[in-house]
Amino acid sequence: MEDTIAAIATAYGEGGIGIIRISGETALPLLEEIFEPFAQGEKPVNRKMTYGRIVDRQTGQTVDECLAVYMKGPRTYTAEDVVEIDCHGSVVSLRRTLELILRSGARMAEPGEFTKRAFLNGRIDLSQAEAVVDTVRAKTEKSHEAALSQLEGALSRQVRTIRAALLDLLVNVTVNLDYPDEDIEEITYDNLINQISLIGEMIEKLRATTATGRMIRDGIRVVIGGRPNVGKSSLMNGLLRESRAIVTDVPGTTRDTIEEVMDIRGIPVYLIDTAGIHDTEDRVEKLGIQRSRDAFEQADYIILVLDGSQPLQEEDEQLLAEIRGRKSLVLINKEDLGGRISPEDLKEILPGADVLTTSMATGSGITEVEDRIEELVYGGQLHQENSVLVTSVRHGELLRQAAEDLERGLAMARRREPLDLIEVDVRSAYDALGEMIGETVTDTVLDEVFSRFCLGK
């Protein structure tokens, strides 16, 4: 980490200002090389904004006017010397300024490299570093809240508490193994079983938040399906509260899948309207229907719409049968036109179906659909403010490993097996949790984590 890195930190395009970031030992000399304060004799001072111009020393030309700040390490984002330059947010001025900085000896930063340095320099742990990218990408308030709480170390604190308990246990076991003859408190199997179960429960509690956490962070794919003309696009528009998809009384209006991201009670939802599924010889329709089926495959939640003003059709029955075993909701729509389908009619084809009667003409049932999506994400549990959520697949996987290790250890303790065998599993759980916060972690994992970042972060 000897070299100094630089990157444009703001989004590419036009903006009021654009920011360039520099980090590393030569950050200040680099700034002095390309920057000239307007005030005579002024020099960049630690943590003070200085007004001046970016200048190309080779030609003497002004590249842009800017504000620059030098922040001396280690109390900075990367824990190194950092410089930030606020230029005008034009692609040209940012690119030319960056070129000057690179020409003066800095290296172009890799995606996530600033945050990686913050981690490697010990300012934040790995789970906090991972939260940085989630904070940037968060699409709803809830996902932002979850990312921010992880960034502030809420998850890390819980992991550290569990690890401390595991370490206690490990020390206890190791001492008993290594000095069996010494006069120390002997560990009993009952004691061991107790402690392992307690820690196992702590891990399970954290793990139980993974499904919700992932949906809050990554969003869920909700696919609206059904045969033509039942009101799928009307539902899409109703949920979006705008006239996004074309709605007509001509069956087969929607020909291609339509996707929109929306915020339902803080949950990022990818809402997908599909072409009505039925038997057809029309080539274009056939392609659209294939796309509907593909969308079904990838759905986290399927909303199957039926036209309640007509009796159940064979095509409806086929679709109902197809979504068996999937997380789904059935809408008996057009209730304003009279109910020719009752929820009981569906019981046989789709046992345990979740059914709502709706009318997209009056808007009745939309709130209930949103309720269902919220329930799906929170699993019927009340959402608690500020509760820690595990949002990343990587963390979920490590928690699973740790839980399995402890389960094995517990089973062995119950069978009164030798301590050194049990120790192996406890240690492995300890290491798995260490990987969550980056205490034991390989370069491959690090590369993987930081490759998801954007440039300049």
Cα–Cα distance for residue pair 303/362, rounded to 1 Å:
19
Query: For strand 258-264 and strand 267-273, is the pairing parallel, antiparallel, or unpaired?
Result: antiparallel
Tell me if 361 contacts ligand GTP by CB under 6 A. Answer: yes
Tell me if 247 contacts ligand GTP by CB under 6 A. Answer: yes
Which amino acid, one-letter code, is at 101? I
Tell me if 292 contacts ligand GTP by CB under 6 A. Answer: no
Nearest CB to ligand GTP, comparing residues 215 and 235? 235
171: exposed, middle or buried (Cβ count in 10 Å: 0-12, 13-18, 19+): exposed
Nearest CB to ligand GTP, comparing residues 44 and 231? 231
Tokens of 122: 């010990």
Residues 179-218 that bind ligand GTP (CB under 6 A): none
Tell me if 249 contacts ligand GTP by CB under 6 A. Answer: yes
Q: Which does 333 bind (CB under 5 to 8 A by kind): Mg ion, ligand GTP, none?
A: ligand GTP
CB of 75 to ligand GTP, least distance (A): 57
Cα–Cα distance for residue pair 53/57, rounded to 1 Å:
12
Nearest CB to ligand GTP, comparing residues 184 and 337? 337
Of the candidates 23, 195, 233, 328, which one interacts with ligand GTP according to CB under 6 A?
Answer: 233
Query: For strand 258-264 and strand 220-225, is the pairing parallel, antiparallel, or unpaired?
Result: unpaired
Which of 448, 440, 439, 425 minimizes the C-alpha distance to 192? 425
Cα–Cα distance for residue pair 55/39, rounded to 1 Å:
15
Nearest CB to ligand GTP, comparing residues 228 and 396? 228
Of the candidates 4, 150, 156, 229, which one interacts with ligand GTP according to CB under 6 A?
Answer: 229
Residue 61, H or E segment: strand 61-71
Tell me if 333 contacts Mg ion by CB under 5 A. Answer: no
CB of 268 to ligand GTP, least distance (A): 23
Tell me if 112 contacts ligand GTP by CB under 6 A. Answer: no
Tell me if 231 contacts ligand GTP by CB under 6 A. Answer: yes
Residues 202-241 that bind Mg ion (CB under 5 A): 232-233
Cα–Cα distance for residue pair 393/414, rounded to 1 Å:
31
Stretch that binds ligand GTP, among 3-11, 23-31, 176-184, 229-237 (CB under 6 A): 229-237
CB 277 within 8 A of CB 288: no
How many residues belong to the chain?
457
**264 SS3 class:** strand
CB 226 within 8 A of CB 306: yes
Tokens of 119: 């981690």
318-337 footprint of ligand GTP as x/- string (CB under 6 A): ---------------xx-xx
Of the candidates 104, 234, 292, 392, which one interacts with ligand GTP according to CB under 6 A?
Answer: 234
Residue 88: φ, ψ to 5°: -70, 145
State the residues that interact with Mg ion by CB under 5 A.
Answer: 232-233, 253-254
Enumerate binding residues for ligand GTP (CB under 6 A). Answer: 226, 228-234, 247-249, 251-254, 275-276, 333-334, 336-337, 359-361
